[in-house]
Amino acid sequence: MKLRRPKTVLTCPQCGSADLYYEAALITGYKYHCKKCNYIGAFVVEKDVEDAGR
Ligand SMILES: [Zn+2]
């Protein structure tokens, strides 16, 4: 059975990379950490990935 649900990937708002860590921060809760540009923050861009299996 196939579900036609679009996959999403989280990307960095600064450099567009999908290499993000999800980090727990003690006071502020959760944050993302970009491997490439070292962006740290709670805001990330969610992108649709249509043809993931190609
Ligand atoms: Zn980045």
- List pLDDT tens digits, range 1-36: 677 777 889 999 999 999 998 888 777 678 999 999
- Tell how far the Cα of 32 is from the centroid of ligand 1, in angstroms: 10
Average pLDDT, rounded, for the chain: 85
Q: What was the pLDDT predicted at 10?
A: 92
Distance CA 49, CA 54 (A): 11
pTM of the complete model = 0.69
Ligand 1 geometric centre to CA of 43 (Å): 11
pLDDT tens per residue, range 43-52: 999 998 876 5
- Ligand 1 centroid–CA 30 distance in Å is 17
Does residue 15 lie in a domain region?
A: yes
Please give the angle made by the CA atoms of 38, 42 and 48, to the nearest 5 degrees: 90
Range of the domain at 35: 9-48
- 53 falls within a domain: no
Torsion of the alpha carbons at 20, 36, 39 and 24, rounded to the nearest 10 = 40
Ion ligand 1: residue ranges with CB closer than 5 A = 12, 14-15, 17, 34, 36-37, 39
One-letter amino acid at 46 equals: E
Q: Quick check: is 39 in a domain?
A: yes
Q: What spacing in Å lies between the alpha carbon of 31 and ligand 1's midpoint?
A: 13
Please report the pLDDT score of residue 12 as a whole number: 96
**Start-to-end Cα distance in the chain:** 19
If one counts the domains in the chain, the total is 1
